Amino acid sequence: MKVLVIIPAYNEERSIGQVIADIKQYTPEVDIVVVNDGSTDATEAAAKQAGAEVLTLPFNVGIGGGMQTGYLYAKQHEYDVAVQMDADGQHPAEELPKLLAAMNEADLVIGSRYVEESSYRSSKMRRIGMIFFSKLVSMLTKEKFTDTTSGFRAANRKVIDCYARYYPMDYPEVESIVYLKRNGCRVVEVGTEMRERQSGKSSITPIRSAYYMIKVTLAVMMCALRYREVRPNT
Amino acid sequence: MTIYSVSTLISIVFLLIILELVRRQRLREQYSLLWIAFGVLLFIISFNVALLERFAMWLDVKYAPALLFLFGLLFCFALILHLTLVITKLSNQVLRLTQEITLMKGQEQQHEQND
């Protein structure tokens, strides 16, 4: 099984090296590609030094566009599994084998903070938002999801193809689940530990969270309403 | 001079400007069609005062030229919507091009390393 880990990174020079080193330590057989989304710091150099393949976008295209670049790369190089992980160290590499182990029962495996008791703690507002999206997605897909905003995921070829064709642009996590369900993919969650981010600040402010909630809700509803496949990005 | 003759004049000048822009290839034919349609409509309405007044009567508008503004405004909305559709399409295309270039650059680098 050819496995690729996709790490989208935007100005993550301080944490990226450690993230790559951890992956190499716990799962030495996987390939790692860092999608450097127009960083203005030394992310590219740090990632290369740590031994990852680096794709550098000429300017910042946002998380969705960057992530999709990773999936396009996975498709181009015919990987069997593509795992997406954050560059800030939130997703511990020692949990990676758990995701990979569940690949034979689903097309997309999501590492969830809430399936089992995990030590992850977050602010109240954030919890409320997460519960809201879990309920929304569970209602629309008629399946139970506990952590729809988790960006720790493993995808097989079917999903790689779907994501290469279409991937939501900003705040993609929630919509990308509904999109897969619309395309007949099996999605499961497995419980994983997550850490506090190792460096950098969360980009969430009150206005942005309001925008986030509204935008994602709209996108998810629209995605659920689309009867057929979503129009490709091109 | 009444508002009708002024707007007739404006619509003629407007149409000429559009045609000239297309001739100089500053405006794509595709996008000019909307403008030409608007110019022609404006011309017809301004030229044919009776038509506008009959419309106004049907719609129970007391001040007929107000209909001109209404049409103008509605057209602006339609055009802006059209523009945002074009922008959406363009930004999708730009993104895909950016991604393809990035992948190609990556491949090139790999080849260089292998050589």
Output the domain CATH number for residue A73.
3.90.550.10
Residue A223 CB burial class (10 angstroms; 0-12, 13-18, ≥19): buried
CA distances from A102 to A29, A128, A154 (A): 17, 28, 9
Q: Do A58 and B98 touch (CB under 8 A)?
A: yes
Residues in chain A: 234
Tokens 């602010």 belong to A123
Give dist(CA A22, CA A126) in Å, integer.
Answer: 28
Domain residue limits at A164: 3-225
**Domain assignments of chain B as residue spans, ordered by start:** 3-114
pLDDT value of residue A201: 58
Q: Do B106 and A61 touch (CB under 8 A)?
A: no
Partners of residue A169 in chain B, C-beta under 8 Å: 95
Q: Do A57 and B98 touch (CB under 8 A)?
A: yes
Give dist(CA A220, CA B94) in Å, integer.
Answer: 24
Contact A7, A87 (CB under 8 A): yes
Q: Do A234 and B98 touch (CB under 8 A)?
A: no
ipTM of the complex as predicted: 0.84
CA distances from A59 to A27, A35, A188, A226, B105 (A): 31, 12, 34, 31, 14
Which pair of structure tokens corresponds to residue A217?
Answer: 């809700």
Q: How many CA atoms, within 13 angstroms, populate the side-chain half-sphere of residue A164?
A: 20
User: Is A230 among the domain residues?
Assistant: no
Which pair of structure tokens corresponds to residue A151?
Answer: 């960006």
Give dist(CA B55, CA B64) in Å, integer.
Answer: 8
Q: Do A57 and B103 touch (CB under 8 A)?
A: no
pLDDT value of residue A225: 87
Name the pLDDT band for B34 (thresholds 50, 70, 90).
confident
User: Is A133 among the domain residues?
Assistant: yes
pLDDT value of residue B104: 95
Which pair of structure tokens corresponds to residue A149?
Answer: 């905003």
Asked if A58 has any chain B CB less than 8 Å from its own CB, the reply is: yes
Per-residue model confidence as pLDDT tens digits over B53-110: 888 899 998 888 788 788 889 889 988 998 999 999 999 999 999 999 999 999 988 8
Contact A160, A68 (CB under 8 A): no
Asked whether the CA dihedral A139, A98, A114, A85 is positive or negative, the reply is negative
Give dist(CA A108, CA A13) in Å, integer.
Answer: 29
CA distances from A49 to A27, A32, A52, B109, B115 (A): 18, 13, 8, 15, 20
Show the low-confidence residues of chain A (pLDDT under 50): none
Asked if A55 has any chain B CB less than 8 Å from its own CB, the reply is: yes
Per-residue model confidence as pLDDT tens digits over A84-118: 999 999 999 999 999 999 999 999 999 998 766 55
Which of A32, A169, A234 would best serve as a mutation to test chain B binding (most B beta carbons within 10 A)? A234
User: Is A232 among the domain residues?
Assistant: no
Give dist(CA A217, CA B2) in Å, integer.
Answer: 52
Per-residue model confidence as pLDDT tens digits over B88-104: 999 999 999 999 999 99
User: Is A231 among the domain residues?
Assistant: no
Identity of the residue in A58, A73, A169 whose CB atom sits nearest the CB atom of B103: A73
User: Is A234 among the domain residues?
Assistant: no
pLDDT value of residue B66: 87
Look at chain A and report how many structural domains it folds into. Answer: 1
Other CB atoms within 10 Å distance of the CB of residue B1: 6
